[in-house]
Structure 1
Amino acid sequence: MINKSRLEQKAAVYGIALTGGQLDLLARYAVCLVEYNQKVNLTAITDPEGVEDKHFIDSLLFAAQPEVAGRMVDVGCGAGFPGVVAKIHKPDLALTLMEPTGKRVEFLRWVCGQLGLSGVEFAKERAEEAARKQWREAFDLASARAVAALPALSEYCLPLVRVGGFFIAMKGASAAEELEAARPAIQKLGGEYQATRAFQLPGGDARSLVVCKKISQTSTVYPRNGGKIAKSPLK
């Protein structure tokens, strides 16, 4: 479905090397995604180059970051981006795919089985509820892509991260604006903004990785319930 040679060349432009085995897994993942998408709405992007650029290269740019290590939770991961791609790129990751929609969790279980990925946990949970359970401050890294604006996203993700760990938000052209709005929330939640790493996807779309470090425990006041987070982001 995808062109493995073309994907390998695209990744190399960013200094990302993919093995033959990794390319085979990504190609299989693409086939599974497009086939399953016919019965469950997982993605609007199903053309080969769209999958290569907007799913795989986008996720690989995240996966290549040095903070992507240890125990990682991918919040609201949908069809598995960036988490499943990160696991393919860095097999030693201990990955938790956190997704509240049952049909998508079923897909994630199935596709990870098809790809033979081990060391993956599946949590059918909303992040704000998971952070009040055994997952609170349990992870070295939390990631999220296309889940919410950064002020709300910080409240979903930072309570899941241990002190000394990281939260990386995958954003587009609005990253700088969202960051300014989110700075008070990041601080209240025990985080510290570290860096924004900007890229362009092969088609020219802007991508930014907003990196925050967890420097102190999150107050037990947070996270609030999902309705409050959405309606009244921290300021």
Structure 2
Amino acid sequence: MTVICPKCQHARSPTAPAPAWQCPACGIAYHKYAAFQARARAAVVPPRDTAPPPGWDGSLWALIGANLLSLVIAVVADWSLGSVMLLYWSQSVIIGLANVARILTLERFSTENFQINDRDVAPTPAVKRQTALFFLVHYGMFHAVYFMFMCVQTDALASISTGLAACVVLFALNHAWSYRYNVALDRRGTPNIGTLMFTPYLRIVPMHATILVGGAFAPSTATLVLFMLLKTGADVAMHLVEHRRLQHRADGVPA
């Protein structure tokens, strides 16, 4: 019977001079290596979700609070569509900057199904920096074009006010909290860097689409409230997706 070495895959010849218990190619003892493999498999931590249940996520409730308080300020101050769009554009920029910082602070990460220039890449510091830079440039261009659209189509710049600035600060504080929360979870797991790069788009597109659709209707307080509530729902839903889906460990034990 042919014996295959479990380490180097050498097929042992019946005439091999080495002892029957030893691989003639790499010299390992078959039974000892098999025992080592068994211990290594037992030590592997299976993939798991590192995010706690939504009810325990303080950043979720802070996000809901920031959205609802912004809604109240918008109604009391009789905001225009331009004011609302500028607020949510600012929130999008904050989300993007937090994501760049999050990518750069990754200690270990997976590159499964992630390619650069159509090539598979290893989870190295260079790949981390390259991914963060690509995201920053692409995301920044998207928001630059969006900002110009707001300036042309709405009174966004003329609508800057103390109330608007206060709401931007609220969202900045919320996303700073969420950033710290996510970084702590990243250090406990092995997030996929490709998923981290694309998820912000999945989060911001629904919330901006909601407001843009709302702008097609006749402006009124009722319309403003309705679409700000719908935006809040989209924001919260994607927050949950981010916290629940990005924190799965990659298979195996990190080096």
How does the TM-score come out when normalised to structure 1? 0.22
Q: Which has the higher helix share?
A: 2
Q: Which has the higher contact order (CA 8 A, sep 6+)?
A: 2
Q: Which has the higher strand share?
A: 1
